[in-house]
Chains A and B, each alone.
Chain A
Amino acid sequence: MFNAIELSPLLITLKVAGLATCAAIVAGTALAYGLSRKSFPGRNWLDAFLTLPLVLPPTVMGYYIIVVMGRNGFIGRWLEQYFGISLMFTWQGAVIAASIVSLPMVIKSARAAFEGVSPDFENAARTLGQSEPSVFFRVTLPLAWRGILAGAMLAFARAMGEFGATLMVAGDLPGRTQTLSLAIYDAVEAGNDMLSMQLVIFTSVICIVMLVFSGKLLRTEY
């Protein structure tokens, strides 16, 4: 039923969403830990700033990414000058767009998970001679990983469904940057009902499975 051309949006989507989720897990977990454990001036502003991708229209996020990463952008120019690479209209650009819009998913649930770990567990580990990295990896993370993983699943689902920011940053190049949600749009525009239905059902099933599993993870407790 699926031929090679129809399969490429799926492969691109899995690659982009998978890598974006990995980036969001690492960055989101670190940021969430800082927000939940450290008190510093401007913490509320940083929290609001990191939540922006959740509330801003994806096209606005895409615009910001172009401003920063584009040919004339602060980082974009630097990348072009020293490495000769441009992220615009590449799948790597799509990864960046997807990881930024899915970052708040990880931060929100990881922060709640960290805040649910009683500081006395960490203090107990410290009195038992453990260094701070050891406290984090042996106590805090094992007690919070369910929340982080649930956030990661939401992030993956969000990254899979990314449309606006990806379109603006990476474009809609079939076989290169065309993800599932972009392919669906094109299929509907072209009147290819069969293809659009296949893609829609496929995307819906993956997202439902993700939601069920992330719900399960959040419910189980010690």
Chain B
Amino acid sequence: MRATQLTRALMAPPTASVDETWRTHLRAHLSSAITPVVERLPCGEQLTVTLPLLRQAIAHPDSLAHDNVPFAWKPIFVRRSLGLAIVDACVSGRFRSPAEAADPVASEAVAEWERTGWRTFHWEPWLAGLRQGTRALVLAEAVSWATVLWASLDWKALGQRPQIGGADDQWVCPAPRTVRLKGRSELRLPLVGGPARSSEVGQITAPVALVSVSGGSPPLAWSDELSFLALVAALRSPSRPVPARVAGLWPDSGHHLIVEIGEEALTAAADRVGATVSTAVEARLSVLERT
């Protein structure tokens, strides 16, 4: 799908809507499915369900039982957040393209951290201490990632400026052990033509389309995975409209796929969450047994 076609499809008026009663039902349904499963975990255990976990539970369930590798910064961990900042700088008109924006945007982030001590992206101290060769690699990864997103949409055709990146959507399931659902989208595009709502801070919020960028090729269950992002956004706050649609971009394979969000899509995503929680709990219990 070309940039103009994708943009048009993303910005089309919503085709389905989810009413508040059903959303309440969805919360209760998910909580009742998760509660008996996570009760098997020891007190104090927590589980965070993300899109990568959903994928891992299907593709490599055995790997869930492996010990976590200690975190260390790598270029691949920086490319999304720096890439989004780069795209944001291009959308705002400061730069003509990601290749032009990368170095100044990264330098500004580091300078801001040095000036204030505040880490907007968390990687600023790491980036500041890198040698030129490593720093260039970090920038190169971010430029390639950002360029693909930048070239995927017809930005001028978007009615309003989209939200680029931003905080993840989160919902904590009221279960005996903490189960947190986290949804991360690259873009939120406000749509015209759907019902607007009042947000918690009194602003009117229009329905949105979410955009998610992934590596590789779309899996068989791509529709459920994209719907998961809408599910978390829908559960997060009753005052925000349920996303109207979610687009998935798989630049490596050239796929752009869209799922319209209705009750059916959200139910499928909720079922997938339930199955993932089961798999993850089994894996966690097997690790605890080993130790």
Binding partners A and B: no
Chain B residues within CB distance 8 Å of chain A:
none
